[in-house]
Amino acid sequence: MGRILSQSELAAVADEEKKQGRKVVSTNGCFDILHVGHARILKQARELGDCLFVGVNSDASVKRLKGPDRPINSEADRAELLASLGAVDYVYIFPEDTPVEFLTEVKPNIHVKGADYTTGQLAETPVVESFGGKVQLLALVPMKSTTALVEKIKN
């Protein structure tokens, strides 16, 4: 089994990690063009536990969330890039617009999001809290976002 998981592998791997007493951390996003902001958040997320599961929005989901010109990189490419990073243990591509189903499968001890949100704004918060996990917000790197990079390239 590789580091990019199918839905059928996802819950089994997460359950096994927890059975071994490991703290499971998750995060999610589009990760359309990887940049230093992503790298820092992923590194910080991984430091909160023993293994990091990353949920990646599918191409169709990114298009619904970000518009018809996105994603720039395919879901397969984005997943492979993330899986190659030392901070990332497992990657799962999810088709929904929110990671609720992904989180229901992984049941992380900690779910990480960038501090451009509040826990009250996140559809993930009640799901994560329902199985005893917590949502942790991490500071973003100022002026580092895929949207900003795309605008810079266009100009």
Task: State residue 1's pLDDT score.
Answer: 53
User: 73-129 pLDDT, tens per residue?
Assistant: 999 999 999 999 999 999 999 999 999 999 999 999 999 998 888 899 999 999 999
| Tally of structural domains, the chain | 1
**Model confidence at 155: pLDDT above 90:** no
Q: What is the pTM of this model?
A: 0.91
What does the block give as tokens for 146? 């895929």
**CATH number, domain with residue 84:** 3.40.50.620
What does the block give as tokens for 45? 């997320």
Q: Give CA–CA dist 36/150, Å, rounded.
A: 15
Mean pLDDT (the chain) is 92
The dihedrals phi and psi of 112, each to the nearest 5 degrees, come to: -105, 135
What does the block give as tokens for 129? 């809290």
Contacts of 53 (CB under 8 A, 6+ apart): 10, 14, 24, 25, 26, 27, 89, 90, 91, 92, 106, 108
Boundaries of domain holding 18: 4-154
- Among 17, 81, 19, which residue's Cα sits nearest to residue 54? 81
For range 5-34, the mean pLDDT: 95
Structural contact between residues 74 and 59, judged by C-beta atoms closer than 8 angstroms: yes
**Model confidence at 154: pLDDT above 80:** no
- Among 82, 86, 124, which residue's Cα sits nearest to residue 105? 124
